[in-house]
Amino acid sequence: MTRLTEIVHFSGKVQGVGFRMSTQRLARDSGVVGYAKNLADGRVEMVATAEAAAISRLIERLKGLYGDGIVSVERQPATDVEEFSGFAVRR
């Protein structure tokens, strides 16, 4: 199966609610590597490397956990990506 890297932006009430730490925990449980970080505009950016289905499951688990707090999710393929050995919370 093919691994890919996606950049995912979460909008809504996703800062100041433990979103990045939850993302890290769920990503590690799902075999997804990469990072999550807060953006100045109030969104959270996740860069995730895994099989497409694992990234989709992670996003669905986050939606289930944060419900209406997540207003939108924007996904795009990443180019020019670094190698990840785990999942980190970045500042």
As annotated, the active-site residues are 20, 38
Torsion of CA 10, 14, 15, 17, to 10 degrees: -150
Residues 73, 59 contacting (CB under 8 angstroms): yes
- Length reported for the chain: 91
Burial class (CB in 10 A: 0-12, 13-18, 19+), 69: middle
